[in-house]
Amino acid sequence: MERAERFILGKVGDVMGTMTSFLERGLMDEDFPIRVVQTEETFLFAPHWHEEVEIVYVAESGARIELNHHLCELKKGEILMIKPGEVHSFLPGTGKLLIIVFRMHFLTGTNPCGPDEQSLKSLVSHNTVIPAHQVQKANLALMMKAIAEEESGRQPGYKWSMKARLYDLIVRLIRLEPGQMEDDCPGGACSESKKFAFIEAVCEYLERHYDQPLKLDDIADHTNFNKFYLCKLFKEARGMTVMDYLNQYRIAQAKWELLGGSESILQIAVRNGFNNLNSFNRIFKKYNGCTPSEFRKRSGRTAQ
């Protein structure tokens, strides 16, 4: 297998402009750890992230995928494995895909530091591209299609079959990995899993209460974390401060209302957590390069 960096062509900002990524919630059923997505001829999806592993097979044409603000171009027949927590999006020029998403803890169970689990950890610790010839040689596409067929057919026992086939797929992928696997678990799957769970909980709290006058102390109290440690951990994981994430989410919601609503800009500002028009204008301009009224005029609506 080859690291995805081999396919990186440049900054995505040069292609699509600056886009904010948000946590994707409700990705799959709580009681079933696998999700299958089969896309149409063209597929677009905004920047997002989640704690699950994502395996993307390019069934037709090619794919242009943003990975952490860099462009990854894939050819037909290739597979990309996206590690947990990685910000990614699907850009124009992406054809038909077969995507399998699964939760790590389904495979690691109660012993995330065992030798086989460490092999899995090594496999998903980076974004990996598998060339088409290797995909074909190892029958990886056929294995993914078999999982998808079980999901679409939904015959009795299909969930068991999907789990069994996913195990087979992961074993095949692990055996493609070159080199020795780690035998220990210092700062490994155990701590990483807790870190993702913590960051996910913070993001969910922010996105559910963004319309309220939140302060850093409120967020720290809710998560039972020291606010300085909270800020450090969040910045390391998401590349921005907690308040930046909150403000960008507020602005993203406000932009939809500016485009589709008839309310005044002040009403929209207050409904999205800003206590006055000046702070809304200032923060909106920081992330968009224009004021809310200018944004509304550009969209063909009348500023109020």
Every domain of the chain and the residues it spans: 2-176, 209-298
pTM confidence score: 0.57
Q: What are phi and psi of 36, to 5 degrees?
A: -115, 135
Distance CA 71, CA 94 (A): 12
Domain 2-176, what fold?
Jelly Rolls (2.60.120)
The four Cα atoms 259, 262, 263, 264 give a dihedral, to 10 degrees, of: 80
Contact of 101 with 54, CB cutoff 8 Å: yes
Helix 140-153 and helix 158-176: axis angle, to 10°? 170
Contact of 124 with 83, CB cutoff 8 Å: yes
Fold agreement between 2-176 and 209-298: no
**Per-residue pLDDT of the chain in tens (304 residues, 90 and over written 9):** 544 443 333 334 433 344 455 555 545 666 788 999 999 877 878 778 888 899 999 999 889 888 877 778 899 999 999 988 888 888 878 889 999 999 887 776 656 566 777 777 778 788 889 999 899 999 999 999 999 999 999 999 999 999 999 999 999 998 885 532 333 333 333 345 566 677 878 888 998 999 999 999 888 888 777 788 788 888 887 788 999 989 988 998 898 889 877 789 999 999 999 999 999 999 999 988 999 999 988 876 555 5
209-298 is classed CATH 3.40.50.2000: no
- Collapsed DSSP state (helix, strand, coil) of residue 48: strand
Distance CA 83, CA 80 (A): 10
Cβ neighbors of 233 (< 8 A, separation 6 or more) are 195, 198, 199, 225
C-alpha distances in angstroms, 274 versus 86, 123, 214, 245, 271?
A: 30, 44, 10, 14, 7
Task: Looking at 93-215, list the stretches that DSSP marks H as alpha helix, in order from N- to C-terminal side.
Answer: 104-108, 115-123, 132-137, 140-153, 158-176, 189-208
